[in-house]
Structure 1
Amino acid sequence: MSPVLSVRTKILIAIVAAVVVLSGVMYVISSGVLLASYQKLEREAVIKDLDRATDGLKGFVHANIMGKMYDWAEWDDPYFYVQTFDTDRNVTFEEEILPVTALYNLNINVLLFTNLAGRGITIRYADLENEQPGPDAEAEEVKRIIVSYPSIINHPDINEGSEGYILTPKGILAVASRPLTQTNGDGPTSGSLTFARYLDAGVINEIADTTHLALEVYRYDEQQLPDDVLEAKQKLTGDTKYYTKPLTPTTIVGYTLYNDIDGKPVMIIKITDPRPVYAQGQLSFLTFLIISGLAILVFGFLIVFLLERLVISRFVQLTSDVSKINDVHDLSIRVDGGIKDEVGRLADKINQMLLWLSASQKKEAAALEEVKHGKERAEELVQVRTKELRQEKDKLQESNVLMDTMVGNLPVGIVLAEAPSGKILVANTTAQKILGADLDPKKDGTIFSNFAAFKREDGSPYPDEERPFSLAVSQCRLVAKNDIMIDRADGSRRLLSVVAAPISSSNGKVTSVVDVIEDITEEKVMERSRDEFFAVASHELRTPLTAIRGNANMILDMYGKTIKDKDMAEMLKDINMSSERLISIVNDFLEVSRLEQGRFEIHAQDIDVTTTIDKVTRDMKGLADEKGLKLEYKAPEKQLPKVHADPARVEQVLVNLVGNAAKFSKKGSIHIEAEEEKGAVVIRVTDSGTGITEHNQALLFHKFQQAGEQMLARDITQGTGLGLYISKLIMSAMGGTIGLEKSEIGKGSTFFFTLPLASKKEA
């Protein structure tokens, strides 16, 4: 006879079966929904990276090839070279402008001129890796392929070029082409100019670094493609633009096609991405399963508990009590009736004999139940808190590893030193290389103040109290110095830029200092060499230019009216004007050199700035009238106070601003205003010119940057781009300021500069 299962066992088996079935259903549903959604997100992320790779390839052609062509395509020399190639070939242009070394400087493999008939007339082909001319056979084959693309050599619009990629026997060629026009941009075109660069491993690595992608590129017509790329090529047909495939649990690959200039597939792009989204989905899925499982277990436990508490235990208790009463025949024993249901009513009949025992039994059962629940709750809280502490510890360790890695790989030196002792707590590798010293905090005696001999640039000792570390500790503020010279252990001397940032405790006391160290030795040498070169070259140029201008003036004065050849007279005028402009440019260079090196004097005095403004208005009126502009000075109702400044320098700055306003205004007016504001006189020059974009506004007041919108156009203003830079240096020397107050495209700009009042100037 098989054993009979108890009611408690049957109920427990039923609940366990229900929990297992429910867990299986939840697993199937959640895996189908959660993981599928994360896989969709992962594919979308890979597609975005494929688009970035495609944009990177397009950007390379536009920035590194098309961007180098504008000066060549809009130039009289190549324009007429192609136009007259068949009738009067310019051999000098080929020898001086088109040597193969020009391709090395441009970092391109191919330079090709084609005429209007679509015939390639001149090609230069270079092996960039070995810096030598490429084989003639390869050059002719490349020329044949390029000429076979009408979209490359034919340009209906002289303002539009073409760019993209094509296939050649040697490899994938990045190609950009523009129509040839004259220097002033006038047409019609005489042919086209094509630049090309092979898409070699170096270029691909450069694009990969720029886009931060693991990028691979394969020829579309390559016969020996890897199996995965061949599979992707077969998938990328019809409307299928992208193909993605998980490679490993941690990596996924994506593929897409890139078409040539005529829209035919030229290469297959492959990227390899990590799978953080999939990993997050796995983690979320696992977390969901764990939480769901715990919830189901708690639910099952609650059901078992309630059944045990409300039904089973009562039956068991009643059976036990009745059996005991029957065994001992003690009618004083009572049973627990519980709820007043059928069991309770039965128990009440028995409890009439067991009343005295039931009260004590209830108290004992309640106490035991409370202890049981308290123990379970305490164990659950301990487990939860232990898990939270473990997670926090792991996050802290990850953060420490990440911080150490970041600091160790910074391109500048980082030193954390204890204050005020200077004991080194942390130092990265870059700092040790710059200082040429072992800064290991574990070694004794590695004190920050003793690791190197501090000196000034002139070789004199650097006082301890003036060092960035000492100032940061004593003044509790950020301190920056770029004049610190050190003698390293290897005997070399380096010039450093040091920024010291104090770290304070809650009571305001500086406990440590972070020093950011940068080696600026080479930068300083380059800056001095550049300034000395400009000064010497400009000075040496001025003497012969002055002679040219003088002789040209003398010829014009003495023989100008007697010269009957108009072309000869025009050439003499061009020589005179060009020499004057070159002398002006040289003077600007010399002026910048003197201002930057402090070799000039400011003869400041108390002046009435209105007099200077009136003089500039009279002097510049002729220039404004020539351009059809109205130049006026609106004097304030209240007389301006005197300012403390050099009148000649004030006039120089104002003339430059008015000249720029006239230069960039085609019609309208130029207004000069002056008023007193906050202890200074502010002078404003407002024009109705072309205006300046926000991007180009950031370039103002820098060397060789002009105030117009078309800053990169060739010879757009006949200026050097030094006027605003010189004006800024002059205003700084006089204690004033200069800047752009506002500018709106198509409506004009307002520049201003300030001069200190005479009463505010210290004696």
Structure 2
Amino acid sequence: MTLRQKTLLLLAITLTGLLGALSVTTSSALLDSFGAIEAQSIRRDVERAQDALAYELADLNKVATDWSIWDDTYSFIRTRSDRYIQLNLKNSTLANLKLNFMLFLDSRGQVVFSKAFGLEQREDFINQEFQQSLAAANIHLQNPEQQLSGIMLLPDGPALVAAQPILTSEGNGPSRGTLILGRNLDPQKIQQLAQLTHLSLNLRRIVDANLPFDFQTAQATLFEQTEIPVQVLAQDSVAGYALLRDIYGKPALLLRVESPRDIYQQGATSLRYFFLALLLTGFGLGSVALLLLDQLVLARLAQLNTGISRVRMSGDLNLRIRIPGRDELARLAHTINGMLEGLACAEQDLRDSEREYRCLVESLKEVIFQTDTTGLWRFLNPSWEAMTGFSVQESLGRPILNFIHPDDRQHHLEEFLALIKRRKESTCYEVRYVTKEGVQRWLEIQTYSRLDFANNLIGTSGTLNDITERKQVEAERLRAEVAELARCSLEQEITERKRIEHLLFAANQVKSQFLATMSHELRTPMNAVLGFAQLLLRNQLSPYQIDMVGRIFRNGKQLLSLIEEILDFSKLEAGSLELELQEFDLEQLVLATCEEMRVSAQQKSLYLQVYFKLDNAKIVNDYARLRQVLINLLANAIKFTEVGGVELEVCEPTPERVTLTVRDTGIGIASADLESIFDEFHRVNQVWTHLSDGTGLGLAIVKHLVQKMQGTVTVESELAQGSIFQVEIPRRVSVRSYLLA
């Protein structure tokens, strides 16, 4: 993908993300606002509907007042005159007053006269059941100041009812009874209220078994809160709900006011237009930004890339890149030109250095060589021909093994494979070789691993020295020493041995102190050597110099590790090493140590597996020393294993003790060496000693440390069957027992 494509994709993603985020936030905020306005509007509509019902009740109360506070009505309750009925209680009277029923009760609550009238049908529809239901309401007012109005649930449906005491025209008592007037809340009345308020109204009884779902939801909400609930019925309609109580204050009806969602839909339409305008604006701004970016940056970057490609294709470091302007790209071109100039100078210096190096190598008496990973000669200086009689031309491309004495070839192969398999970084050994004339001579080979810049092994390099004369001198000196010893008398030999034993005993007393002191004194200059080697590696060096300084650093680290082992052993033998007891998680220690050793195992294609069988991972011990024990055992297992891998099992045979078992599939240990495996400076399987440059103190230190921890270490092994080292320690090292140890 080109930079222009990446820029276009980045702009598209950025604009899309910004537009998307803005769309989501704006849509959520605006639609929520429109929804709130819509809810506020529908609540006002519900309040209007409630006001319309309240107005109807007020009008009904006014009519009831006109009829109940009237001398004729007051007299009618006592006389029950038919003339009053004929003159005043005609159907036309109820129709004009928009009443559906009238009921006159005496002071005892008995019905004096009742009349019901259907306004639409213009006929009397009163019946006995209706009268009984209305009378059963027990609306009986004796107090002249008492009034009652509201909703009543009658057999034929809900009705607006007003009841007032019957008094004289002056409003005096005592009350002779109660006048009850009513208007049915039937569909026709609801329709009239809807036309009056310009609203869509619907009434439902609370006890209705077929109550719609939205009424049921609103009913539950109305019982829990005082705010008018609002529900969206469909994409284009919304409704508000109110609870209407009866004349006794009990919940009776549910009122629904339905309204079209004009506000919300208009808001959604406006929002869509806003998003479209925003999209077009973003597209325009993005196009302008991309055009400017292409003209000011991308085109000039392409010009810069073309100039660099021209230099790369021609290989001419004297070519220069020209980018006009004073911005960062122009300064980058200037910097690249300076780099090209520096590379040209460095290339010339490298040619001069290579010429000087070749002159130096060819003038040395030592043979300097290089081989590939198969052991074939790849470079030899002229000293090779003077040493062996073979010319450099006829030797290059041939195996080094062809020039070594047959009896020493196996030894050479072992050392060479140790380098190739990267078990060693360097080695020095002596073998015999055969000259072109067939003469056997001794050769000292000092060789190192040769790595490329990616740290991949590409072969070996080193020096060859003819040590035949030195071998002859050593042989003569050995024969002279043997002859001199033979001439010594037996008495002198006994005396000398006693003296030596005395000296050895005395030396053993100060050995530990001497080793500790010398190890400390050796660490100080060695740390300085390693520090200066690291400083050199940070400077600009040639590959050859980096290789040489790297060897100094690696060999220095190896020597420092040996010094640390000697120092630890001297402290253990002198009894000056103390454990620093602390509580820690054994499982975490084991996992961290195995992760540290896993790189060494992977370099040899070995597996390293850990198994835990612990109910409690907490122990009290010396964290660093227990880690040192594990590292020694795992390092030995990896070092002497060529195929397969290493396993570490941690378990607790008893709640108070834990065991750490290291198993490997390596070369194993002969039964004759098992008893002395933990002795100081003891090394078994001498055929495999080339695998390590160690001191033979590792297992001795392990044994001393484990004993210091009040534990035991054991080994089980057979040749070619692998080895099992098991360390058993207490879960909590006792301070008292530790001091006694």
| TM-score (normalizing by structure 1) | 0.40
Structure of greater Rg: 2
| TM-score (normalizing by structure 2) | 0.41
